[in-house]
């Protein structure tokens, strides 16, 4: 949790205890190169990192190819993670291009890593963004936000995968109005349920789409963990721009284990306006940080409700979203008003985000636009490290 150092409260700019070298490197180990699947410290991409007495941190990152479109993602991640450390007031990041020696060290490390990971089959494109939607407790509207964000992103033309990872409280099938059983493909992997949405497409997996016997096993917790892992690994996703994960609520073993399986994910923490809720959501944010997963933003749900006469009803108080965002050093990326239409639409399986007007539809369109801008799928990764790998392989082949 980002604490304000006592020195700053008294108007003094020196920080008594800046982050240690270990803390800096630990934070940077949370930054995963999306293509190489390993962290930037062990890949040798961190040339230097220094914390100054005034809370400023200077960091230099060597990139494989300076013009790589994935650079923005790495850059955001470095700044957020270092910026969230206690005592850090600003982050100065410089990037440079790797020299030949650095590149070849990086490639051998990446190869080693690829060999170690052989057992894990990850079938989804590196360009897809993974968004975990989390909350400190149930009932804050996490699933409602996940489903409607998925629909709103699909309406923008994206292909959106949706994993219902709240195994014991699954609700996605009902909310999204899909029914049926998951089929397997020739590789004995699951095929997600598909639903066309405007120009886009939803691909959904949920316990709700499994056979009753399988569900019974999951209820008893026997294959809880394995079920989640299957949803992550044993699904043939095909093309994908986003993969949204409706996380189990809280900070127990199941969400923590799942967080560890998602090094490349970005988290949206859903909270409600009361200050008490902000504390609980803060614990969830902290859990992700410990698992080195980046929190990208806060979504405040059940925000003040505006009646037809333009009067605002802050039924559940206000400020929780802003407080939480300030505390963890990320923006509030969406505010979803408290509105009775949300309840009916969830029960009928017609997400409000299908609508063209009304406060709820508008709020989700705005949230989706913000996500599409801040956490954009990578359009052209061909110019990134993939190209570098190709180059090296080719040269090795020629030699
Ligand atoms: N913005 C909102 N306005 C009104 N009701 C809401 C809103 N968001 C969620 N709800 C309702 O609150 C209940 C809990 O939402 P749900 O998405 O199931 O929460 P969670 O997944 O966090 O447990 C549902 O009945 C849902 O319809
Ligand atoms: Mg839920």
Domain boundaries, the chain: 21-117, 129-375
Q: In testing the pocket of ligand 1, which one of 134, 141, 367 has its CB within 8 Å of the most ligand atoms?
A: 141
Q: Which ligand is nearest to the CA of 300?
A: 1
Residue 151: exposed, middle, or buried by beta-carbon count in 10 A (0-12, 13-18, 19+)?
A: buried
Which pLDDT score, from 0 to 100, does residue 218 have? 60
CATH class of 21-117: alpha beta
Residue 149 CB less than 6 A away from ligand 1: no
Residue 271 Cβ < 6 Å to ligand 1: no
> Would you place residue 118 in the very low, low, confident or very high pLDDT band (cuts 50, 70, 90)?
very low
State the ligand closest to the CA atom of 168. Answer: 2
Q: Which tokens is 227 given? A: 């079920």
Residue 353 has pLDDT above 70, yes or no: yes
Question: Binning pLDDT at 50, 70 and 90, where does residue 117 land?
Answer: low
For 27-80, the pLDDT digits (tens) are 999 888 877 777 899 888 999 999 999 999 999 999 877 666 677 778 888 998
Average pLDDT over residues 166-170: 81
Ligand 1 pocket test: pick from 145, 345, 346 the residue with the most ligand atoms within 8 Å of its Cβ.
346
Residue 122 has pLDDT above 50, yes or no: no
Which ligand minimizes its atom distance to the CA of 361? 1
- Tell me the CA–centroid distance for residue 170 and ligand 2, in Å: 6
pLDDT tens profile 181-237 = 888 888 788 899 999 999 999 999 998 888 776 666 665 555 566 777 788 888 888
Cβ neighbours of residue 121 under 8 Å, at least 6 residues apart? 233, 234
How far apart CA 193 and CA 216 sit, in angstroms, is: 21
Q: What is the pLDDT of residues 356-385, one digit of tens each?
A: 888 999 999 999 999 998 888 876 555 555
Please report, rounded to a whole number, the percentage of residues in the chain having pLDDT higher than 70: 80
- Atom nearest to 337 CA in ligand 1: 1
How many percent of the chain have pLDDT more than 90?
Answer: 37
**CB distance 136 to ligand 1 below 6 Å:** no
Question: Tokens 């789409």 — which residue?
Answer: 209
Q: How far apart are the C-alpha atoms of 237 and 201, rounded to whole Å?
A: 12
**pTM for this prediction:** 0.73
Burial of 183 per CB tally in 10 Å (0-12, 13-18, 19+): exposed
CA distance 19 to 42: 20
Cβ 171 under 6 angstroms from ligand 1: yes
For residue 263, what pLDDT is reported? 63
Please answer whether residues 77 and 28 qualify as being in contact, where contact means their C-beta atoms are separated by less than 8 angstroms. no
Ligand 1: does its nearest atom lie under 6 Å from the Cβ of 1? no
pLDDT computed for residue 224 by the predictor: 63
Q: Distance between CA atoms of 88 and 78, rounded to whole angstroms?
A: 13
Residues paired with 91 in a beta bridge: 57
Tell me which residues have their CB within 5 A of the ion that is ligand 2: 143, 166, 171
**How many CA atoms within 13 Å lie on the side-chain side of 91?**
26
Q: Which pairing describes strands 294-303 and 332-337: parallel, antiparallel, or unpaired?
A: parallel
User: Which residue's C-alpha comes closest to atom 19 of ligand 1?
Assistant: 141
Question: pLDDT tens, 126-158?
Answer: 678 889 999 999 999 999 999 999 999 999 999
Ligand 1, atom nearest to 135 Cα: 22
Give the residue whose CA is nearest to atom 16 of ligand 1.
Answer: 141
Superfamily of domain covering 129-375: P-loop containing nucleotide triphosphate hydrolases (3.40.50.300)
From the CB of 301, is ligand 1 less than 6 Å away?
Answer: yes
Task: Give the pLDDT confidence score for residue 123 in this predicted structure.
Answer: 53
Cα 102 versus chain centre, distance: 30
For residue 103 and ligand 1, the question of a CB distance below 6 A is answered with no
Check if 21-117 and 129-375 are the same fold.
no
Q: Say yes or no to pLDDT of 316 above 90.
A: no
User: For 281-295, 328-342, 378-392, which range has the lowest pLDDT when averaged over its residues?
Assistant: 378-392
């Amino acid at each position: 949790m980002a604490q304000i150092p006592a020195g700053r409260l008294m108007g003094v700019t020196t920080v008594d205890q800046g982050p240690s070298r270990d803390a800096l490197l630990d934070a940077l180990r949370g930054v995963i190169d999306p293509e190489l699947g390993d962290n930037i410290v062990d890949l040798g991409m961190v040339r230097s990192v220094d914390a100054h007495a005034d809370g400023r941190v200077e960091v230099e990152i060597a990139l494989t190819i300076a013009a790589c479109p994935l650079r923005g993602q790495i850059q955001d991640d470095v700044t957020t993670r270092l910026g969230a450390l206690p005592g850090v007031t600003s982050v100065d990041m410089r990037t440079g291009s790797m020299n030949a020696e650095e590149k070849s060290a990086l490639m051998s490390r990446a190869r080693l890593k690829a060999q170690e990971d052989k057992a894990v089959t990850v079938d989804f494109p590196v360009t897809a963004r993974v968004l975990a939607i989390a909350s400190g407790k149930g009932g804050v509207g996490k699933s409602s936000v996940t489903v409607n964000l998925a629909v709103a992103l699909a309406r923008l033309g994206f292909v959106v995968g949706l994993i219902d990872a709240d195994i014991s409280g699954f609700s996605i099938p009902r909310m999204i109005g899909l029914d049926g059983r998951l089929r397997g493909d020739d590789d004995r992997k699951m095929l997600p349920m598909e639903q066309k949405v405007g120009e886009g497409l939803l691909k959904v997996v949920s316990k709700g789409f499994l056979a009753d016997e399988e569900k019974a096993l999951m209820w008893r917790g026997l294959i809880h963990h394995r079920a989640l892992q299957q949803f992550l690994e044993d699904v043939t996703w095909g093309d994908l721009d986003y993969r949204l994960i409706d996380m189990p609520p809280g900070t127990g073993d199941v969400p923590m284990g799942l967080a560890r399986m998602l090094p490349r994910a970005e988290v949206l923490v859903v909270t409600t306006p009361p200050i008490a809720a902000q504390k609980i959501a803060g614990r969830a944010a902290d859990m992700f940080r410990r698992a080195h997963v980046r929190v990208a933003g806060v979504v405040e749900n059940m925000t003040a409700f505006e009646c037809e006469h333009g009067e605002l009803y802050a039924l559940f108080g206000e400020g929780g979203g802003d407080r939480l965002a300030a505390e963890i050093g990320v923006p509030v990326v969406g505010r979803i008003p408290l509105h009775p239409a949300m309840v009916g639409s969830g029960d009928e399986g017609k997400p409000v985000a299908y609508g063209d007007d009304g406060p709820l539809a508008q709020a989700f369109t705005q949230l989706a636009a913000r996500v599409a801008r801040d956490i954009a799928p990578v359009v052209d990764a061909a110019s990134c490290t993939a190209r570098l790998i190709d180059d090296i392989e080719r040269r090795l082949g020629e030699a």
